[in-house]
Amino acid sequence: MPSAVPYETISLAIYCKLLKARVGGQLIAAHAVAKKMSIRLPEYKPPPRRAYTDLGWIFAALTGPATLFAVWIYCAVTYGFLLGFLLGWIPALILALVVVVATIFLWPLAAVAVLHGIYRVFGVHPELLIYIAALVGIIAIVMIWWWHVANNKS
| Per-residue model confidence as pLDDT tens digits over 65-95 | 999 999 999 999 999 988 899 999 999 999 9
Q: In whole angstroms, what is the distance from residue 144 CA to residue 118 CA?
A: 27
pTM: 0.47
The separation between CA 44 and the C-alpha centre of its own chain, rounded to angstroms, equals 13
Are 84 and 75 spatial neighbours (Cβ–Cβ below 8 Å)?
yes
Q: What is the pLDDT of residue 91?
A: 93
Show me where the domains of the chain are located.
Answer: 107-154
Are 49 and 147 spatial neighbours (Cβ–Cβ below 8 Å)?
no
